[in-house]
Amino acid sequence: MTERLNGKTALITGSTSNIGRAIARRFAAEGAHVVVSGRDARRGAAVVADIRAAGGLADFVRADLDGSVSASRALADAALERAGGRLDVLVNNAGIYPASTTATVDEDMFDRLYAVNVKAPFFLTQALAPSMAATGGGVMVNLGSWVARMGVPVGALYASTKGALETLTRAWSAEFAAVGIRVNAVSPGVIRTPDLADDEDEPGAAMMLGTPAGAAGHPDAIASAALYLASDDAAFVHGTVLDVDGGRIGVAVVAGEHARRGNED
């Protein structure tokens, strides 16, 4: 590894599994002191143990980011304490995706989705931006989604929350630039859950048919993109949503032609 985050501290929300876990491991491998957070203390301890076993620095803070100001501020305070009073990188990754259509969404689901996916990162950013500014600046990386900009017939409510977070990315980039905080986002395509058995299908993987990648991606691909945005390599990158989606958004491919060419290779 190149240790592109050597000497940095980073808080990654929702980092006890999947994409968040991959980001935490990668940041630690690149020299960052990582604060792992999530609701499940057992899984959090396992991530920390893996990082430390590999020679990295990590601590766990349990957090149930329910959208309340108090929950976000409590995580901010605890993370700053674990990180020695300074956080250089915040990754707003935690989110939920209950399967739904517009017809099946009730008020409780609506409020919970916006609480976890929008209010929680909003108030966590509110809580941490002043401390980042006071210590010379920092970096924020938000997790969007390809469905925020490409309509699909399921998950409209979820897509709208990710659209909100991508909009906040641009607004925060403008708002916090003067105090030295860079803000960008990663927009994943369908990502395979690493804990699935080899013979299990990833839900939603069919949506990657016809893309250049032709299949669901791996969480490590998102971790690499988040690392780039968090590092000094991206010092001139502001307010950007980086699509890491196998070409789902940006490339039009005829599914049948793509499949035919694949069979010829």
Active site residues: 158
Residue 3, SS3 per DSSP: coil
8 A C-beta contact, residue 185 and residue 143: yes
8 A C-beta contact, residue 259 and residue 193: no
Phi-psi region of 230 (alpha: psi -120 to 50; beta: other; left: phi over 0): alpha
Single out the residue of 55, 44, 50, 52 nearest to residue 11, CA to CA.
Answer: 44
Single out the residue of 1, 11, 23 nearest to residue 223, CA to CA.
Answer: 23
For residues 10 and 28, give the distance between their C-alpha atoms in angstroms, rounded to a whole number: 9
8 A C-beta contact, residue 140 and residue 238: no
Within 8 A by CB and 6+ apart from 239, the residues are 169, 170, 173, 174, 183, 184
Single out the residue of 70, 124, 69 nearest to residue 92, CA to CA.
Answer: 124
Q: Please compute Rg for the chain using Cα positions.
A: 18
